[in-house]
Amino acid sequence: MTTSDQFFETIQKHYNQQLPFVAYRKPNSSTVKGLLQSDKKLHYVEDYKTSGFVFAPFDDSQNSVLIPLENSESIEINNYTRTNKTAVRNDYFSVANKEKQQHINLVEKGVKAIEKGAFHKVVLSRQETVKLSEFNLFQTFEKLLVNYPSAFVYCWYHPKIGLWLGATPETLMKIEGNHFSMMALAGTQEYSGHMDVDWKDKERAEQQIVTDFIIENLKPFVENLKISDVETVKAGNLLHLRTMISANLKLEHFNLKDLISRLHPTPAVCGLPKMAAKEFILEQEQYSREFYSGYLGELNYDSILKPRSSKRNIENRAYAITKKSTQLYVNLRCMQIKDQSALIYVGGGITKASNTESELEETIKKAQTMKSVLK
């Protein structure tokens, strides 16, 4: 069994050799996994039938990167725990007035475009740079693991692309055999010690836009569609509205590449209509999102499902069913480490009811997830 120290020592050695890897933990799990690529080759996802860890950009016209299972070493820590939270920074750091004004101007452009009928919603983001006097990769990763147990936490590296870390609250999709599930997550307000909060019409409308988009685009691929009630969920220091969507895949018509193409990017990270909002984002944000608001996760892994035991059918306990599993997460609450700086990516959904100052404040609060673990 790999100990915590052995796990991080192995990855540190791999990183020192400038070899690609990913280390990650799924939400509410005590297992931390690592996938260490044996060479420096840049692999791309082509038909979504291969197996490995995918790292995809926001712009779906660009290639998605794959750390393939077939030429990588898999390691993991079971029952990874820390009894106490690690020390984190509680200040928001300062945001330059120029950066604030740029985002306010961007939001104003978005609202005007909505009023002119260009689209119903657009998600606008900004990049914030935090200079690092010192940076320890694995201490930072461990802080994310300990302080954000309900998030998908990861550290991803490729020498030809860069180093990324994140703690995202949002699942893009999960597929186990023919079972499909997905969440619609939108609306944001700060957590103030309780979950019983009032949501404004703007936030509820934003969440409904995401839900309706997902349902409409899923219909050709699924049957037995089920939609949960809207609930309030906590992610770090923020609250969001969430709807869970589940269904059975029509396997005879199913193509994973086509399904992802229909869904990504969702209105939660892009807007609606998708193409018009995406075009506005690429033209107006004045920086490249790269992998921020893309997706990442396990692609076509083997998942072993053990049958339920029963007194009547004891012999079935020895059997297990292997099914293909894909679990993808939206790359939110993330940062790129580059040139002794942390490039932090944050954004928010803009509708005709948006207030520019409130939208700026939302991005400042979202940035705290990454800033809190930086020295």
- pTM, two decimals, is 0.92
pLDDT at 313: 56
What's the rounded mean pLDDT across residues 212-221?
A: 94
Per the document, the length of the chain is 375
Q: CA angle at residue 325 from 297 to 53, to 5 degrees?
A: 25
Of 97-106, 237-246, 307-316, give the lowest mean pLDDT range: 307-316
Using 50, 70 and 90 to split pLDDT, how confident is the model at 1? Answer: low
Amino acid at 55: F
Contact 350, 362 (CB under 8 A): no
Using 50, 70 and 90 to split pLDDT, how confident is the model at 76? Answer: very high
What confidence tens digit (pLDDT) does each residue in 322-332 have? 788 999 999 99
pLDDT of 57 strictly over 70: yes
Say what angle helices 274-284 and 97-115 make with each other, to 10 degrees: 150
Domain 4-307+322-371 homologous superfamily, CATH: Anthranilate synthase (3.60.120.10)
What's the rounded mean pLDDT across residues 112-118?
A: 97
231 three-state secondary structure: strand
The residues spanned by each domain of the chain are 4-307+322-371
- Asked if the peptide bond before residue 265 counts as cis, ω within 30 degrees of 0, the response is yes
Using 50, 70 and 90 to split pLDDT, how confident is the model at 88? Answer: low
Enumerate residues 6+ apart whose C-beta is below 8 A from 53: 22, 24, 35, 66, 67, 296, 297, 298, 299
pLDDT of 315 strictly over 60: no
What's the rounded mean pLDDT across residues 276-288?
A: 96
- The first and second tokens of residue 307, run together, are 């049958």
Using 50, 70 and 90 to split pLDDT, how confident is the model at 317? Answer: low
Amino acid at 302: D
Contact 133, 375 (CB under 8 A): yes
- The first and second tokens of residue 5, run together, are 């120290």
Contact 174, 180 (CB under 8 A): yes
Q: Which residues pair with 43 in a beta bridge?
A: 66
pLDDT at 218: 94
Q: How many CB atoms lie within 10 A of CB 62?
A: 14
256-259 long-range contacts (CB < 8 A, ≥24 apart) are 256/48, 256/49, 256/175, 256/300, 256/326, 257/47, 257/48, 258/221, 259/173, 259/221
pLDDT mean across residues, the chain: 91
pLDDT of 333 strictly over 60: yes
pLDDT of 318 strictly over 80: no
pLDDT at 254: 85
Q: How many CB atoms lie within 10 A of CB 134?
A: 7
What confidence tens digit (pLDDT) does each residue in 137-149 have? 999 999 999 999 9
Q: Which residue has the higher pLDDT, 98 or 248?
A: 248
- The first and second tokens of residue 219, run together, are 């219909």
Q: What Cα–Cα distance (Å) separates residue 369 from each residue in 4, 21, 167, 335, 348?
A: 24, 23, 8, 10, 15
DSSP 313-366: TGGGGG--EEEEEEEEEE--SEEEEETTEEEEEEEEEE-TT--HHHHHHHHHHH
Contact 35, 161 (CB under 8 A): no
| Pairing of β 152-158 and β 238-249 | unpaired
Using 50, 70 and 90 to split pLDDT, how confident is the model at 85? Answer: low
Say what angle helices 137-147 and 4-16 make with each other, to 10 degrees: 140
Q: Which residues pair with 331 in a beta bridge?
A: none
Using 50, 70 and 90 to split pLDDT, how confident is the model at 87? Answer: low
Using 50, 70 and 90 to split pLDDT, how confident is the model at 252? Answer: confident
Q: How far apart are CA 110 and CA 352, in angstroms?
A: 9
